[in-house]
A and B are shown apart, each in its own frame.
Chain A
Amino acid sequence: MGTKKKKKIEWINILAPFVVLAIIVVILEVLAKSGKVAEYVLPAPSKVVAGTIKSFGRAILPDFLFSIKIILIGFISATILGLLLAAVFSQFSIVAKATSPVIIWLVITPMITLVPLVLLWLGNDPNVRVIIVILQASPIICLNTLTGLTTIETEKKELARSVGATRFQAFIKINFMNAMPQVFTGIKLGCIFSIIGSISADFVAKTIGMGNKIIQFTKYVQTDLAYGSILLVALLGIGMYMLIEAIEKKVVIWRK
């Protein structure tokens, strides 16, 4: 394939999502301005953006910064914890088998159902929400990494043995590198789960955070700001996800 054609396809791939987004925005704008839908149900996207920018510094910024703090600290801690647990579990198949149901249980249980209990145990300090984010994100990171670390071809193990690799050498040079695609899948899912965990905790604990703001704005029929807050949380998530994906593209440059 020619370089020109390749570049054209790359541009189409970049532009396509923006075109879809633009179409959605236009449809929503037309629908909202047609008067067929009440403004408190669906404000026009232009009003959402304008209202959010206007109120951002005064009404949203402190909660937004708080949520960013909780999400980032929680996500980084969950990544470290998830990777470490997977590394330990992978070394002992009995431990991996014994803990798998618990990890799966933590992955599939909506954290919002556990938040009241966690807050009851740990108190109402808003920073405790980091624990909720860790509990929400680390199991999925651990589960994916563990799958990657334990599903390795017999020939790769034999290769390690044939050159006399120690257990540590085999883990670092073969198992971990072999698991890298699954590790990144886990981290990307962990990023999404961190945001869900943080907003869930805000919904229950209230007082501060973007989840709390969404509830407040909805309660006082400031729908444009509620939508704006949802948009900000989504943008934060997309930004984090794209950053991880960019790192993945730099690290995982091979194909099987």
Chain B
Amino acid sequence: MAKNDKLILSHITKSFSDGKNQLDVIKDFTHTVKEQESVVILGPSGCGKSTLLKIAGGIIDASSGEIILNGVNYKTQIPKEALKTFGFVFQTSNLLHWRTVAGNLLFTLEVMRLKGKEWTDRVDEILDIVGLLQYKEVFPHELSGGMKQRVAVARALVHNPEILILDQSFGALDAITRKMLSFEVLKIHQATNKTMLMVTNNVPEAVLLASRVLVLSNKPTEIVKEISVDIPFEERVPEIYADSRFLEYCSEINSVIRDNM
């Protein structure tokens, strides 16, 4: 194990059983996410990408294998006390509709028992970063889809996690909002240097946000191709979409996906 290995998924298998048949969604998956890097996972619909993220984020357990976080081997499931390490952004905003924007962020802090002025100030700080400070007392039903998703990102960041996990979090948004949010996440990644693990179904989004892209196969999931995106993060500005290097990466990934359909 190298010093900067943040999260190691070793020989992870996840099977679901309906009593008679057993379905292997993930079989013998092994991968290491290094500190401060941004790993983006692409793959066909239903291949187990979200399941993989939920195992990595401690939401569900693996059937077998080992999850090693910060050098500690937690076997098949990360325990509750280690979950502070992660900030999880779901496919939908998944906001608590009975809580205001600030209340949704406080939910995480209350559950994790992070109290005091330092943390209440942190709510304002994070809302300011995602540009929603003036909406802190507003309820989710009064927000647009993009704003809700920004609150979800803020909620995942409020407890200052070491790893940010995004599970196709912008999939339900329109193209313009999606692009805008991608750049916001990029900005957050650059500013905080947080390790990022993300699933998306959008190739340009993957290239924009990744230091490494993993293309997965259909069930049972395995890594078909691993591509390092060697474009410095500071060069990833809106004009990057027309950059030849960017387009080359997109084309390479698209051809890998096509070949494995």
Q: List A residues at the B interface (Cβ < 8 Å).
A: 155-156, 158-166, 169, 173-174, 177-178, 180, 252-256
Contact = CB atoms under 8 A, between A and B. Distances in A.
Interface string B81-102: 1011010101110101111000
A255 B141 contact: yes
A163 B98 contact: no
Q: Which 3 A-B pairs have the closest CB atoms?
A: A164-B83, A164-B80, A162-B88
Measured as residues with beta carbon below 8 angstroms from the partner, the interface class of chain B is 20 to 34
B110 interface: yes
B107 interface: yes
A162 B96 contact: no
Interface of A, helix, strand, loop or mixed by DSSP: helix
Given A155-B94, A177-B98, A254 B141 contact: yes
30 contacts: A155-B91, A155-B92, A156-B94, A158-B54, A158-B59, A161-B83, A162-B57, A162-B58, A162-B59, A162-B88, A163-B83, A163-B107, A163-B108, A163-B112, A164-B58, A164-B83, A164-B84, A164-B111, A166-B80, A169-B110, A173-B107, A173-B110, A173-B111, A174-B96, A177-B96, A178-B96, A180-B98, A254-B140, A255-B97, A255-B139
B90 A161 contact: no
Nearest to A178: B98
Contacts of A159: 88, 90, 94, 96
> Which of A169, A173, A254, A256 has the most B CB atoms < 10 Å from its CB?
A254
B98 A162 contact: no
Contacts of A178: 96, 98
Nearest to B109: A163
Interface string B16-59: 00000000000000000000000000000000000000100111
Nearest to B95: A159
Interface string B109-126: 011100000000000000
A161 B58 contact: yes
